[in-house]
Amino acid sequence: MSLSPLPSASAGGTFALGGMLPVARLGFGSMQLTGPNAFGPSRDAEGARAVLRRALELGVTLIDTADAYGPGVAETLIAEALHPYPSDLVIATKGGFVRGPRAEWRTDGHPAHLRAALEGSLSRLRLERIDLYQLHRIDHRVPLEDQIGALVELRDEGKIRLIGLSEITTTQLHRALEITPIATVQNQFNLADQRAAGLVDESARLGIGFIPWFPLATGGLSRAGGPLGELAAAAGVSPSQLALAWLLRRSSTMLPIPGTRDLTHLDDNVRAAAIDLDDPRFAAFTEAAGW
């Protein structure tokens, strides 16, 4: 299959995670490489591996995953496709969210579980250290200090390099920062859902990377007839490109991780890195979204 040349993902700029690990700001999320609702095996394992390899060809240097995707499926696919890893690739994974027998999501922030989860991720990813390990959800049955403390211990043992948090409030971020430096936060955020705007701004103020999950609203923003259809057509780009370019423009510490199982969609997403939204267009798109 012949694919036309594309701009590198780094065209959208770079950001140093924790001030020490530079990555292209436009990354890749692996959740969609598994079965429906991120549960069960991949529908097309070889196709998933091809997408991962193509992402690296296009300059992606940040891949986001989690032990709960599958569970274990996404991490295994990443290792099968990409190991041994390029020196500039950062694989960010998560623990503390587990799957029940009916694919339901459950929190488990007990220190013993977090340690076991990390060991499982290290094994599947074929790594000795996770560059960015994120608490997937705060478990409200366990003191936050114990959950963060478990990750600090693992970092001190050399098994984690940087610590991140997922689905938190600004207050929780500041509580965590009293315990240890936090490199990234990951909350739902996109052009159609900006409820985490305050956390985006606070993360930027603190120099913390913000990883918006569902950056395309699970595809809702990428449909030609969707809310961005007319705006994207007028700008001469696809709706998904517009949504991603808006995120990159929204904050200098924003790290979108659009995921896909399709090579064509991957190429389309990476083209967003080269789109430069000027102030008037950025303001017009923000206003049109109703926020």
Q: What is the CATH number of the domain that holds 27?
A: 3.20.20.100
Instruction: Give a yes or no: residue 235 inside a domain.
Output: no
pLDDT of residue 216: 84
Whole-angstrom distance, CA of residue 183 vs CA of residue 162: 6
Strand, helix or coil at 142? coil
Contact 98, 120 (CB under 8 A): no
Tens digit of each residue's pLDDT, the chain (291 residues): 233 467 899 999 999 999 999 999 999 999 999 999 999 999 999 999 999 999 999 999 999 999 999 999 999 999 999 999 999 999 999 999 999 999 999 999 999 999 999 999 999 999 999 999 999 999 999 999 999 999 999 999 999 999 999 999 999 999 999 999 999 999 999 988 999 999 999 999 999 999 999 998 745 555 666 666 777 887 888 888 999 999 999 999 999 999 999 999 999 999 999 999 999 889 988 887 776
Instruction: Give a yes or no: residue 278 inside a domain.
Output: no
Instruction: Give a yes or no: residue 157 inside a domain.
Output: yes
Per-residue three-class SS string for 168-203: CCHHHHHHHHCCCCCCEEEEECECCECCCHHHHHHH
Tokens 């939204």 -> residue: 277
- Name the residues annotated as catalytic: 69
Instruction: Give a yes or no: residue 277 inside a domain.
Output: no
Nearest alpha carbon to residue 165 among 221, 92, 84: 92
Instruction: Give a yes or no: residue 227 inside a domain.
Output: no
Instruction: Give a yes or no: residue 283 inside a domain.
Output: no
CA angle 197, 132, 176 (to 5 degrees): 55
Residue 225 DSSP one-character state: T
Look at the chain and report how many structural domains it folds into: 1
Range of the domain at 93: 16-221+252-260
Whole-angstrom distance, CA of residue 1 vs CA of residue 137: 40
Instruction: Give a yes or no: residue 9 inside a domain.
Output: no
Whole-angstrom distance, CA of residue 275 vs CA of residue 231: 14
pLDDT of residue 252: 97
Whole-angstrom distance, CA of residue 7 vs CA of residue 5: 7
Beta strand segments in the chain, E: 14-17, 21-24, 28-29, 62-64, 90-95, 97-99, 105-107, 130-135, 160-166, 184-188, 209-213
Number of H helices, E strands in the chain: 10, 11
Instruction: Give a yes or no: residue 193 inside a domain.
Output: yes
pLDDT of residue 21: 98
pLDDT of residue 220: 58
Pairing assessment for the beta strands 130-135 and 97-99 based on DSSP bridges: unpaired
